[in-house]
Structure 1
Amino acid sequence: MKEFKENKVLFMAQAAMIAAIYVVLTVLFAPISFGEVQVRFAEALTILPFFTPAAIPGLFIGCLFGNIYGGAILPDIIFGSLATLVGALITYMLRNRNKFLAPVGPIAANTIVVPLVLRYAYGITLPLWMMCLSVGIGEVLSCGVLGMILLFALAKYKNVIFKKAAV
């Protein structure tokens, strides 16, 4: 029983730390974290479900609060955060496959959802394909490039940093 409680505390601590880092990165880099051309550095953290399931709620909550503190409107807060949640779930589901698949879920989810939010919530009238392209490029930079750099850096220390946390 004691081990379960320790794992539960570890899970919550990991989730809270990931959420806090996501919020700080989103707000710190707010000028490039929002809009039709964006590179959200915090999205590099979406590879963390590769290491721990605690990253899933951490990323969702971090994105939710990052969007709130960043000044996003309600549909963006809801659907943008859900896109990050879906991306994190896909990363977690693909964790036992090739590590190069880790950023695919977040890239796909945000490339599809964010342009729709930009169009229907913010009224941006650029062609949808153009917003998909610009958001997709930003996601490839943040998740695919920065996220994979983070994945390889953390992989060396995964047993130290990411102890098994109970779901």
Structure 2
Amino acid sequence: MPVFISYRHTDRVQAMAINARLTRANIKTYIDVLDAESQTTDDITGVITRRITECTHLLAVVSEHTARSWWVPFEIGEATISNRRICSFKTGTSELPLYLDKWPKLTSDTDISFFIEAYCDEATTKRSMAPGSVNESMRSVYQQNAEFFHNQLKARVRRGY
């Protein structure tokens, strides 16, 4: 159940901090700067698309710099198409795009803790899917489980405990 961390390179410090936090919680992550293939390929789009399908979750670090990025929206779109769990982590003071309202919006270290707990709960109860494609017979169950993950995490973030 790896987590794909999406970010604009100007937000690398925040992305690496989240990566370290998830790694300390024994959550496998993917972040492009630690992937030799993404540093040397001529087909970065293919690599990114494949890496997203190898992950079950996408956590997008979003700031005022993200508005000038093509990659973060592309990665969110790819995660949406492949039915991944999606969350954003807001840094800075800018407002998030309205299309991100569909998924949990994290803004603090406490919210990252809530994400980690929701992720671990999903793994324990086996509501998550294996990375890769979802066959048609499992698509409906997976979508219901994804909605449950998103709704539960959104409610937890809203409550703050």
TM range (shorter): 0.3 to 0.5
User: TM-score, with normalisation over the residues of structure 2?
Assistant: 0.33
Determine which structure has the larger helix proportion and give its number: 1
Decide which structure has the larger Cα Rg and report it.
1
User: TM-score, with normalisation over the residues of structure 1?
Assistant: 0.32
